[in-house]
């Protein structure tokens, strides 16, 4: 029959109050735990993906926006650049570059971006600085990589969310958002993509993109452009000869479409004015990042950004203050909970003066009484911390589905990080502090008076 058991028995004897106090501590700890886990895990995931490429080159604008759009497929691109810049980069007279991949974005399917790129991207690997393990996000789970235009390879999340399988066809939507068919300005129904491969889950933003050739995206857009032009032309001629024009358009489309695409395909890659959204660059060494960024700024009309720098800026300048506020709220709730522990125990000690006096009469020392009451505070705090850890991680677990769905960031919940350990130790200390006054009150009891006054 330890002091822990005695303390627990008294807590159990007033279950409802104990539960409410534990719950208030748990809510506070849960908030802190969730904020810390989300902060650490998302930052880790962001930084992990930011290492995939040393430099991103794109149209001038916000570097963060460019990184978010090109590496995490989150924001709108800053604009387009000529493919000539990519060709220039490949020349690489100073031998900075290990690999460079052009990407083109413009269309999407059910909210998932279609990334036009070169097949070489699928060989891209890097080493994580967190665990020094190689990362290879592009591994085919089913089917194969694309060989032809309008062949598509789906990220694992895209396949999971859309239900598309190898061999299925889908029609892309212009832009990055899911738009009902009747509201779509551009109809790509005559240029469907065919799913030829589905990739293994890499737990990265790459899981939520659709990959096809650069040319596919160009062709869809040049076609869209031509189509718009034809429609405009048709509109002008409509009053004169509606049926004739419409028939001509259908004829061209049905019979010359494949041939036309092949010709365009050959032209666009070589045409220095063809546009791409960004270039993802892996350097020979991360140490070249700053030099190469300067090189791009000085020698091209494009902008270069280092993903890891932008992500650190995002966290330090914007997200950190928000997290600090949330943590402050969490600690405020902890302080209120500590106060409720203090009040609860204080009132309980007032009601239990007789019990404490009896224990003293039975031979308990004043230190044992002090310890028993302090242990009650510790029980409440520890259970609150355990409950809070569970609540916080359960929230993180639920949120992880949203983060994976929306941003491709797969975060780990039900872990314990350094920040949480520090926070839990702080909460335990505050709980103990809250127990000291009631414990002293119990320690200082006058046994004879308390026994006689209650006889």
Among 113, 124, 293, 360, binds other proteins (CB under 8 A): 360
Q: Assign residue 193 a region: left if phi > 0, alpha if psi is -120 to 50, beta otherwise?
A: beta
Closest C-alpha among 154, 44, 47 to residue 108 = 154
Identity of the residue, 299 or 365, whose beta carbon is nearer to other proteins in the bound complex: 365
Buried b (16+ CB within 10 A) or exposed e, 212-250: bbbbbbbbbbbbbeebeebeeeeeeeeeeeeeebeeeee
Identity of the residue, 6 or 114, whose beta carbon is nearer to other proteins in the bound complex: 6
- The pair of structure tokens assigned to 454 is 């209650």
**119 secondary structure, DSSP code:** G
Among 132, 180, 362, 418, binds other proteins (CB under 8 A): 362
Residues 6+ apart with CB under 8 A from 6: 372
- The pair of structure tokens assigned to 378 is 């510790």
Among 364, 383, 404, 434, binds other proteins (CB under 8 A): 364
Q: Is 19 in the site for other proteins (CB under 8 A)?
A: no
The span of 38-46, 103-111, 119-127, 362-370 binding other proteins (CB under 8 A) equals: 362-370
Q: Is 4 in the site for other proteins (CB under 8 A)?
A: no
Among 347, 361, 398, 421, binds other proteins (CB under 8 A): 361
State the nearest-atom distance from the C-beta of 339 to other proteins, in Å.
Answer: 25
Q: Is 368 in the site for other proteins (CB under 8 A)?
A: yes
CA gap 97, 87 in Å, rounded: 13
Q: Is 452 in the site for other proteins (CB under 8 A)?
A: yes
Element (H, E) at 59: none
**CA angle, residues 188, 189, 192, in degrees to nearest 5:** 85
Among 245, 271, 366, 412, binds other proteins (CB under 8 A): 366
Residues 6+ apart with CB under 8 A from 451: 354, 357, 358, 361
Q: Is 353 in the site for other proteins (CB under 8 A)?
A: no
Q: Is 448 in the site for other proteins (CB under 8 A)?
A: yes
Q: Is 12 in the site for other proteins (CB under 8 A)?
A: yes
Q: Is 355 in the site for other proteins (CB under 8 A)?
A: yes
Identity of the residue, 145 or 440, whose beta carbon is nearer to other proteins in the bound complex: 440
**Size of the residue set binding other proteins (CB under 8 A):** 25
**CA angle, residues 355, 357, 359, in degrees to nearest 5:** 70
CA gap 334, 328 in Å, rounded: 10
- The pair of structure tokens assigned to 33 is 């735990």
CA gap 294, 303 in Å, rounded: 9
State the nearest-atom distance from the C-beta of 13 to other proteins, in Å.
Answer: 4
CA gap 455, 451 in Å, rounded: 6
Q: Is 354 in the site for other proteins (CB under 8 A)?
A: yes
State the nearest-atom distance from the C-beta of 39 to other proteins, in Å.
Answer: 42
Closest C-alpha among 421, 405, 388 to residue 34 = 388
Question: Between residue 378 and residue 437, which ones bind other proteins under the rule CB under 8 A?
Answer: none
The span of 88-96, 224-232, 354-362, 424-432 binding other proteins (CB under 8 A) equals: 354-362
Among 26, 359, 383, 391, binds other proteins (CB under 8 A): 359
Identity of the residue, 2 or 418, whose beta carbon is nearer to other proteins in the bound complex: 2
Q: Is 13 in the site for other proteins (CB under 8 A)?
A: yes
Note the residues at the interface with other proteins (CB under 8 A): 1, 6, 9-10, 12-13, 354-355, 358-368, 447-448, 451-452, 454-455
């Amino acid at each position: 029959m330890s002091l822990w058991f005695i303390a627990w028995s008294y807590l159990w004897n007033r279950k409802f109050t104990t539960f409410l106090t534990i719950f208030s501590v748990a809510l506070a700890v849960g908030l802190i735990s969730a904020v810390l886990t989300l902060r650490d895990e998302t930052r880790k995931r962001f930084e992990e993906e930011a290492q995939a490429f040393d430099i991103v080159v794109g149209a001038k604008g916000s570097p963060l926006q460019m990184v978010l759009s090109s590496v995490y497929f989150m924001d709108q691109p800053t604009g387009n650049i000529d493919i000539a810049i990519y060709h220039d980069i490949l020349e690489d007279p100073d031998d900075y570059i290990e690999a460079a991949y052009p990407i083109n974005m413009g269309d999407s399917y059910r909210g998932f971006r279609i990334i036009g790129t070169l097949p070489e991207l699928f060989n891209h690997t890097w080493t994580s600085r967190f665990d020094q393990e190689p990362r290879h996000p592009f591994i085919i789970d089913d089917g194969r990589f694309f060989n032809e235009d309008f062949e598509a390879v789906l990220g694992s999340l895209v396949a999971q969310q859309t239900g598309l399988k190898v061999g299925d066809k889908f029609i892309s939507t212009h832009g990055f958002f899911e738009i009902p068919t009747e509201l779509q300005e551009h109809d790509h129904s005559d240029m469907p993509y065919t799913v030829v491969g589905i990739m293994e889950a890499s737990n990265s933003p790459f899981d939520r993109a659709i990959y096809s050739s650069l040319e596919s995206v160009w062709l869809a857009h040049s076609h869209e452009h031509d189509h718009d032009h034809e429609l405009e032309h048709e509109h002008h001629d409509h009053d004169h000869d509606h049926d004739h024009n419409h028939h001509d358009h259908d004829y061209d489309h049905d019979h010359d479409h494949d041939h036309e695409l092949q010709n365009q395909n050959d032209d666009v890659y070589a045409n220095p004015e063809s546009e791409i959204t960004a270039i993802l660059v892996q350097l020979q060494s991360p140490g070249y990042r700053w030099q190469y960024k300067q090189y791009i700024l000085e020698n091209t009309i494009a902008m270069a950004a280092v993903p890891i720098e932008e992500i650190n800026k995002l966290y330090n300048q914007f997200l950190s203050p928000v997290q600090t506020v949330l943590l402050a709220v969490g600690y405020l709730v902890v302080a209120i909970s500590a106060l409720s522990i203090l009040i609860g125990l204080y009132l309980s000690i007032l009601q239990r003066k007789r019990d404490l006096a009896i224990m003293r009469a039975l031979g308990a020392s004043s230190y044992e009484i002090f310890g028993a009451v302090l242990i009650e505070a510790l029980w409440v705090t520890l259970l609150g911390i355990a409950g809070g850890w569970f609540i916080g991680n359960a929230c993180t677990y639920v949120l992880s589905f949203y983060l994976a769905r929306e941003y491709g960031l797969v975060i780990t919940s039900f872990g314990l990080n350094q920040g949480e350990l520090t926070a839990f130790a702080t909460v335990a200390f505050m709980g103990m502090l809250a127990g000291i006054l009631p414990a002293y009150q119990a320690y200082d009891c006058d046994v004879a008076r308390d026994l006689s006054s209650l006889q």
